[in-house]
């Protein structure tokens, strides 16, 4: 398969950052990267021209990462609390999802978008939960979220019938000692 070698002018998701030389399909180069001026042909002249730009962008990115790391440190100290409707076992009638977590963070004074909140699935139980906040490709923070029920529940009730009982270990049967040869052994002559 034919590929085209290009020099990236900006960071491109899942491809590379400024100054990287990448090999891509000709159609991707012709229809996406080149018209949007995200890349240029990888010639020696273009490489020299992009060296200064690359250094400047790397310095800006390092400053941004330092700033976001400080923000992540402040976020990791945050402990949020919300009160939701739940039943007597601690199951929420609704759920707490990324939108709700972003709202709680905004109320606490930390501007956050829904897409920055990383949750595998919506939370449906009362109790303490850890939630990842994604700030940058290299920076994320873990916050603590406590969900309480309107009826005062703080921990879910686990019914004994739902908890599997450990199976008893099978007793080892003693092997019979016999002088008869095993089935796979040949008898001595």
Residue 125's CATH number: 3.10.430.100
Number of domains the chain is built from: 2
Both tokens assigned to 104: 């709680």
In which domain, by residue range, is 17 found?
A: 4-67
**16 within some domain:** yes
Q: Between the CA of residue 136 and those of 94, 121, 147, what are the distances in Å?
A: 30, 21, 27
**160 within some domain:** no
Residue 87 and residue 145 share a domain: yes
pLDDT tens sequence for the chain (189 residues): 699 999 998 889 899 988 899 999 999 999 999 999 999 999 999 888 888 888 888 899 899 999 999 999 999 999 999 999 999 999 999 999 999 999 999 999 999 999 999 999 999 999 999 999 999 888 999 999 999 999 888 888 876 555 566 677 777 666 666 555 555 556 565
**138 within some domain:** yes
Residue 86 and residue 57 share a domain: no
Judge whether 131 and 145 are in contact, CB under 8 Å: yes
**pTM: predicted TM-score of the whole model, two decimal places:** 0.64
**35 within some domain:** yes
Bridge partner residues of 39 (DSSP): 8
**109 within some domain:** yes
**89 within some domain:** yes
**14 within some domain:** yes
**171 within some domain:** no
Residue 21 sits in a domain whose CATH number is 3.40.5.10
């Amino acid at each position: 398969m034919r590929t085209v070698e290009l020099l990236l002018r900006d960071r491109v998701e899942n491809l590379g950052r400024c100054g990287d030389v990448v090999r891509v399909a000709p159609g991707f180069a012709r229809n996406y990267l080149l018209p949007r001026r995200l890349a240029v042909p990888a010639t020696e002249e273009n490489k020299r021209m992009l060296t200064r730009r690359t250094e400047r962008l790397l310095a800006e990115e390092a400053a941004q990462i330092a700033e976001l790391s400080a923000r992540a440190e402040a976020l990791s100290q945050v402990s949020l609390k919300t009160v939701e409707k739940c039943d007597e076992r601690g199951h929420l009638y609704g759920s707490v999802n990324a939108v709700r977590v972003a709202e709680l963070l905004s109320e606490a004074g930390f501007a956050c978008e829904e897409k920055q909140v990383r949750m595998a699935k919506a939370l449906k139980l009362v109790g303490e939960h850890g939630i990842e906040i994604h700030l940058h490709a290299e920076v994320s923070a873990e916050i603590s979220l406590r969900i309480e029920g309107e009826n005062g529940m703080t921990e879910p009730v686990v019914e004994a019938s739902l908890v599997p009982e450990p199976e008893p270990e099978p007793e080892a049967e003693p092997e019979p000692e016999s002088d008869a040869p095993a089935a796979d052994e040949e008898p001595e002559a």
